[in-house]
Chains A and B, each alone.
Chain A
């Protein structure tokens, strides 16, 4: 019966598709195929989590932000400070980073999410800049410009040491990413997640169907901040270093670039855009950092003009 077919289509949308196993197989394959690149690989995995957090708030809820780095940096400094002052347990450091970032997200969100558009964009930048100034000023604690040093991260579960080859780091980041991805995927397919898309597509309509728009936006902003904080903590713990640039406009801007390359609001855009960007950066930016900026800027302009859906968007076009 037609009725059931159409209803089924919508009711089944959250079911797992075989292709969704691909990123994880690729990640495991990469472990064996590129043993000397594992430290970079760990960074890529952690950054994918960062991009996922940005996609939730930007791609799904439509909140355009240039301040996601605030939460990334908050998580990084939290985990970093704990590890530099005697508490190097990684899992709790990770959770602490997520918690602090979530708190900053919640408090700043309450204040700034009542605005929209350019004003909101500017305020996300202001919050990140305030955090930057505060961390810079507290250089006695954070190391300021020189960055946070002296981190000592303990073994995971007392067993797995963070070694120079990055093996532990790689799997640590992979597992955290996997668990977070499971959560994000659930959220995206939940009624809450669908309502975020509604808020993005037509906020006027959302109000008119009785949805508590402000509350939903605040919740997703806070969740996104927690995830960003986790990714910052991962980077801090696996590189044993935190720099002031973690909080900068550059970091917020590049995560947008990585998302648009892969495809915004598609959940998997992060999995495509981040590796592409970071591997390209690893190869080319050392040649001449100035030209790197030029080509990335040009790429952004071209993508917005011609391939707005990113790589995933191009796949869609080929499928038709």
Chain B
């Protein structure tokens, strides 16, 4: 009995940590898809970049962990702006195939680019001493880093959701996702909104990639290897939704952790079955608009 309980807690805990990472990375993709109608298959590149920046800053520059995280998020957000302005912008609301080919091409380039700069091996994340080891809560001890991940993730999600609900920026985002033409006609500068939203989504992805570097290993093939996870979270959550991907990430994160724990020979098979089942039931995703 104790073993089963222990297993359940393990799965829930690690599943939650994984879900946080998946959500932080994928929420930007969901909004980009819902607001700009843009299929960005290179979204994983931002997460990968975040992972590379944080590991490089810590290892080579000796930057303390929190600062490195911030650095990763800001660097990726800033780098995403020219990509959006110069490249993606032309294809908004356009032919889906164009978007797919363009972003797959960029993802391919990212593989080569990452190999060139950082080499072909994976970059492990060395958490700082105060986050290593275990956090003893009396009845149970939990790995410190994953605990931090969950708390940090929860805090970020809370801040994000509050901002979307309470701030003017958030209101504009919701309006634009809901009905772009209407938003434009009430005077919202959608061009700048796209840029800001894209930067925010990419920054969050970078942060997610940085935080989750031990869950989704940082290596040159990152963007293509994990693409399917990000797409599943967004589609199951509901395109354009901000909350939807969170619950999708929970579902996927916990199921993936459970299946890796209980039936590891099956790989990601159960995730795929789950995805098909959910989308058969709700083709627009859990929180998709009708």
> Which A residues form the contact surface with B (CB < 8 A)?
58, 62, 64, 66, 111-112, 114-115, 117-119, 121-123, 125-127, 129-130, 133-134, 136-137, 249, 253, 256-257, 260, 264, 290-291, 293-294, 296-301, 303-305, 308
Contacts and interface: CB of A to CB of B under 8 A. Distances in A.
Given A118-B239, A291-B112, A294-B108, A129 B283 contact: no
5 contacts: A115-B279, A122-B275, A137-B267, A299-B105, A304-B98
B106 interface: yes
B286 interface: no
Nearest to A252: B104
B106 A297 contact: yes
B115 interface: yes
A123 B268 contact: no
Contacts of A134: 269
Contact of A133 (B107, B272, B280): B272
A216 to B, nearest CB: 19
B39 A130 contact: no
Interface stretch (B154-162, B168-176, B195-203, B227-235): B227-235
B102 interface: yes
Interface of B: 33, 39, 87, 90, 96-98, 100-102, 104-113, 115-116, 120, 220, 224, 227-228, 231-232, 234-235, 239, 265-269, 272-273, 275-276, 279-280, 283-285
Contact of B268 (A66, A129, A298, A300): A129
| Interface SS of chain B | helix
Contact of B104 (A118, A253, A264): A253
B110 to A, nearest CB: 8
List 3 A-B pairs, minimum CB-CB distance, nearest first.
A300-B105, A297-B108, A294-B112
Contacts of B228: 122, 125-126, 129, 249
Contacts of B268: 129, 133
B35 to A, nearest CB: 13
B146 to A, nearest CB: 26
A64 B280 CA distance: 19
Nearest to A296: B108
A281 to B, nearest CB: 13
Nearest to B90: A305
Given A114-B283, A297-B106, A297-B108, A126 B232 contact: yes
B39 A117 contact: yes
B276 A290 contact: no
B276 A119 contact: no
Given A64-B100, A126-B232, A293 B108 contact: yes
B272 A130 contact: yes
A70 to B, nearest CB: 12
Given A119-B239, A130-B272, A304 B101 contact: yes
Nearest to A125: B228
Nearest to B40: A118
A236 B177 CA distance: 47
Nearest to A299: B105
A66 B97 CA distance: 11
Given A111-B276, A304-B98, A308-B98, A121 B231 contact: yes
Contacts of A119: 235, 239, 279, 283-285
B101 A256 contact: yes
Contacts of A126: 228, 232, 272, 275-276
B28 to A, nearest CB: 14
A298 B109 contact: yes
A115 B279 CA distance: 8
Nearest to B120: A290
B112 A290 contact: yes
Contacts of A308: 98
Contacts of B235: 118-119, 122-123
B90 to A, nearest CB: 8
A249 B279 CA distance: 21
Contacts of A300: 101-102, 104-105, 108
Q: Give the residue among A62, A133, A134 with the most B Cβ atoms within 10 A.
A: A133
Nearest to A260: B101
A119 B115 CA distance: 31
Contacts of B39: 117-118, 121
Nearest to A253: B104
Contacts of A293: 108-109, 111-112
Nearest to A294: B112
Contacts of B106: 297, 301
Contacts of B101: 256-257, 260, 300, 303-304
A129 B267 CA distance: 10
Contacts of B273: 130
Q: Give the residue among A66, A126, A137, A294 with the most B Cβ atoms within 10 A.
A: A126
